């Protein structure tokens, strides 16, 4: 009977079942509405920059999110709660990349101005710390049971992504030091290319000149904004596939536990 109940109640997309705020739905919607109202009022009446309004909205949603994640901890355990938090964080991170794409390709803003909703967070050290945090969380989730092929691919992809940001962080520190030495400490070295894309290591290295790598679409020609949009897109897709596969067993086990208590 318990197995039949699980089959009947098993969600088709368990990732959506996890992300559903359930009893916190009203609170989440209220926080979202309040964030929109305060952000709009602040930008119109107080001349807030977009990033201030966006940061306020995130803070309000975070208050509701903390309660939702506490529910996840009680209902499913620590590993699934961490997965829920990572899914939400990566979801917002994806929105940031989409906004940057619109700013750069549709609105035709220059690269330095195409910095997403929270421009203050578009700093090299923020990218570096965030991407290595994702690697650490991915390793934790794999150790916690998300070990299918999608989980391992997600971990490998996240590691490769973070490695590119490490290369860019080194370049950023080197260029910042050089600018200071030349007497221009006020100039920013933010936005330097990495391994991939236009003016990246593959495009400039003598070892790759004339090879098939330089003929692959975008690998040595795409702007940094595009390169990291696709890095993030691959990461989010693999995370979603890994989470959906992993959650089938975890949510079933949670249902069985509740029905047999």
Residues 79, 145 contacting (CB under 8 angstroms): yes
Residue 130 structure tokens: 């965030």
Q: Please work out, in degrees rounded to the nearest 5, the angle formed at the alpha carbon of residue 103 by the alpha carbons of 97 and 107.
A: 155
Higher pLDDT, 252 or 70: 70
- Tally of domains within the chain: 1
- Whether pLDDT at 132 is above 50: yes
- Whether pLDDT at 1 is above 70: no
DSSP 106: I
Structural domain range at position 86: 2-259
pLDDT, one tens digit per residue, over 35-93 is 999 999 999 999 999 999 999 999 999 999 999 999 999 999 999 999 999 999 999 99
Band of residue 253 on the pLDDT scale cut at 50, 70, 90:
low
Whole-number Å distance between alpha carbons of 257 and 251: 10
CA distances from 47 to 10, 40, 51, 52 (A): 49, 10, 11, 10
Higher pLDDT, 219 or 138: 138
Cα 17 from chain centre: 20
The candidate with the shortest Cα–Cα distance to 168, out of 188, 130, 195, is: 195
- Whether pLDDT at 169 is above 90: yes
pTM recorded for the entire structure: 0.88
Among 6-10, 123-127, 152-156, the range scoring the smallest mean pLDDT is 6-10
């Amino acid at each position: 009977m318990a197995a039949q109940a699980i089959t009947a109640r098993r969600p088709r997309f368990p990732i959506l079942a996890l992300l559903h705020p359930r009893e916190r739905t009203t609170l989440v919607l209220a926080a979202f509405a309040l964030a929109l109202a305060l952000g709009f009022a602040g930008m119109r009446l107080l001349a807030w920059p977009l990033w201030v309004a966006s940061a306020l909205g995130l803070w309000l949603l975070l208050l509701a999110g903390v309660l939702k994640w506490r529910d996840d901890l009680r209902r499913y355990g620590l590993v699934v709660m961490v997965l829920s938090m990572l899914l939400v964080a990566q979801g917002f991170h994806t929105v940031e990349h989409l906004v940057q794409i619109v700013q750069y390709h549709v609105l035709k803003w220059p690269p330095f101005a195409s910095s997403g909703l929270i421009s203050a967070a578009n700093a090299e050290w923020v990218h570096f710390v965030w991407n290595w945090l994702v690697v650490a969380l991915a390793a934790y989730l794999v150790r916690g049971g998300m070990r299918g092929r999608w989980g391992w691919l997600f971990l490998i992809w996240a590691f490769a992504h973070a490695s590119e940001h490490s290369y860019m962080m080194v370049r950023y520190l080197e260029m910042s030091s050089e600018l200071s030495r030349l007497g221009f400490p006020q100039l920013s070295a933010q936005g330097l290319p990495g391994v991939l894309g236009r003016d990246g290591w593959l495009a400039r290295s003598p070892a790759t000149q004339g090879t098939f790598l330089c003929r692959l679409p975008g690998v040595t020609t795409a702007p940094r904004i595009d390169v990291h949009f696709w890095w993030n897109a691959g990461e989010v897709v693999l995370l979603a596939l890994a989470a959906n596969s992993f959650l089938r067993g975890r949510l079933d086990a949670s249902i069985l536990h509740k029905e047999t208590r």
